[in-house]
Chain A
């Protein structure tokens, strides 16, 4: 893994243009190949040309020698100078000299789809949007396909898989004929809060506020922040009088004149958990779910919902004795990055943006160290590797391994794992010893390959003296800590979390 030396301003450029709109283009610049690389350059050009011919027929490729990159935009017509991406020739080859088709395909499929798209950045912890949002094409297509067919959907995945990023992407890139409203339910603790959040999100979104009828000001989004606040205060009072009636009125008022409206309810699990913590929480949550089920059964024409929540939200609710129909919604599962393609592609492209070459062998080393690829942890590790590489110009596989053990799992990265310890603290709200019991279970799973579920249940009961709470807490833990259950056995399905737990928590 090394910093690319792209000092040469001469080289070779592959310009990929939209067949119907040549001004929509991006370029791959290969900096100054030497004479021993001319055959490799030829192989790159021919491989890209054949990939485009076979898989990206909406595009055309032109390729040229470049005398001076700084002048290339004057030499080539309509060249988008903001979308020239520099690569080293060796980026596209294995150490043994084989062309890596996956990488060429990754560049093309990532950059072809959008006029503005750049290479992805490493965004540890933050929402990945714009160019940083990576490779969820299949899930995006699934969502639009399902809602087009008239289904409401639930997006399910454990923590840190990128549900929020996907929901925000869907809201900001609605399919033609659709408007989409993103609603963040984190922090809401009541049915009233649920309704008000939806109203606020609709009102703040100029595209969606136009869909509000029946007494709502269609230009609500143009109000000043102070006036908006006043309005929300007033509406809050109205909601509190009778949230069901207000909610019915709000949803009935949603009439997209042209096309359809998708409401994306993110962090639904947090809302459910928070309501449960309040007085009569179980009843209030059951009421809300029942009412919301009715809303969906009689929803206005053209209105659809996508609920984003943790993987085990329906079973968690069931374990609490709350009836719900969430598992009957059309499910879209967000999987971790698969090692063979998505993860490799992301590492390659994100490192290219940092001007760092990473060989396929080094990618395999990173992936092997991490096990199941959870986007958050992958970005964390890449961030560390970029810093190390910048400091030393180059790092070897041994140093990558050392960075994993000493830095990613070390004290320096402690704050990045704080969310894990915070989750354990959250468990205290549910029962005095719940946090301690969860720690005990995690420690057991961190040191053993698999543990019988009934053994974990006994451990839980031993610490909490509350056997009944095990199943519902187990459902939460599955999402929080990537626990997998199979044939009555449970295992911790994240190598990095397992390694981290062994290093930091198991000893305490």
Chain B
């Protein structure tokens, strides 16, 4: 059922993946200090379409609400996170580089503007943990296809550290919490929960420190040259 209803989604996904790959290839061609290339970012296409099991769970949770936004009939045209891509960056400052390349490319290309809308969502990197929907610190974009009605794609941009954190958290905690929403506290104590958040915070601190060192080195090399 999911496959048959998401044919247009697959096509839209193909277009967006192709575009993001071009931007990433261009960014990764840039040289850094010592005139050498380094890794800036990569596109992660795994889990790019929600598994039918996750869709079913989400539908079930939605059905419990007083005014469900979507149901079995229309979920594929309403849910905005059926498709997800992730861009994983090396440094925090690489996220800025990627964002500006993305914006520049989109705004300079009428074909893309005619094809889809690009909206920048909340910046969850600097958001207080309690205000973040997910544990990882990322920036989200929402792409809305104009060619295929009701086809959306969520783009997440995060650092390698946050990606690493998310891979572990997703398996250890997120999946369990989602499956047993009422029993979350029985499975995970406050202590474990806060520990996991702290780890995300620690990795963010590491990202900040690496960025400070990177900035300092770049300034030094700039003055030196």
Contact = CB atoms under 8 A, between A and B. Distances in A.
B172 interface: no
B10 interface: yes
* Majority-rule SS of A interface residues: mixed
Contacts of B12: 38
A35 B21 contact: no
A8 B14 contact: no
Kindly state the interface size class of chain B when it binds its partner: 20 to 34
Contacts of B164: none
Interface stretch (B43-51, B87-95, B128-136, B195-203): B43-51
B223 interface: no
Interface in A38-64: 38-39, 41-42, 45, 62-64
Contacts of A62: 3
Contact of B10 (A12, A34, A36): A12
A206 interface: no
B147 interface: yes
Contacts of A35: 15, 19, 111-112, 115
A8 B43 CA distance: 13
B18 A39 contact: no
A38 B15 contact: yes
Contacts of A42: 8, 11
| Residue of A32, A38, A41, A68 with highest tally of chain B CB at under 10 A | A38
A10 B111 CA distance: 20
B112 A65 contact: no
A33 B48 CA distance: 18
A37 B111 CA distance: 11
* Majority-rule SS of B interface residues: helix
A38 B21 contact: no
A11 interface: yes
| Residue of B3, B7, B15, B115 with highest tally of chain A CB at under 10 A | B15
Nearest to B115: A35
Contacts of A12: 10-11, 14
| Residue of A33, A62, A67 with highest tally of chain B CB at under 10 A | A67
B158 interface: no
| Residue of B14, B15, B111, B115 with highest tally of chain A CB at under 10 A | B14
B18 A32 contact: yes
A33 B21 CA distance: 12
A64 B10 contact: yes
Contacts of B125: none
Nearest to A11: B14
Contact of A36 (B3, B17, B111): B111
A65 B14 CA distance: 5
Interface in B61-112: 111-112
Contacts of A65: 10-11, 13-14, 17, 48-49
Contact of B11 (A8, A32, A41): A41
A10 B17 contact: yes
A340 B64 CA distance: 61
Given A33-B18, A65-B48, A39 B13 contact: no
Nearest to A49: B7
A367 to B, nearest CB: 34
Contacts of A64: 10
B11 A67 contact: no
Given A35-B112, A67-B46, A45 B18 contact: no
Given A37-B15, A42-B11, 20 more contacts: A10-B18, A11-B14, A11-B18, A12-B10, A32-B14, A33-B14, A34-B15, A34-B18, A35-B15, A35-B115, A38-B12, A38-B115, A41-B14, A45-B11, A64-B10, A65-B48, A65-B49, A67-B17, A67-B43, A67-B46
5 contacts: A34-B18, A34-B19, A38-B12, A38-B15, A66-B14
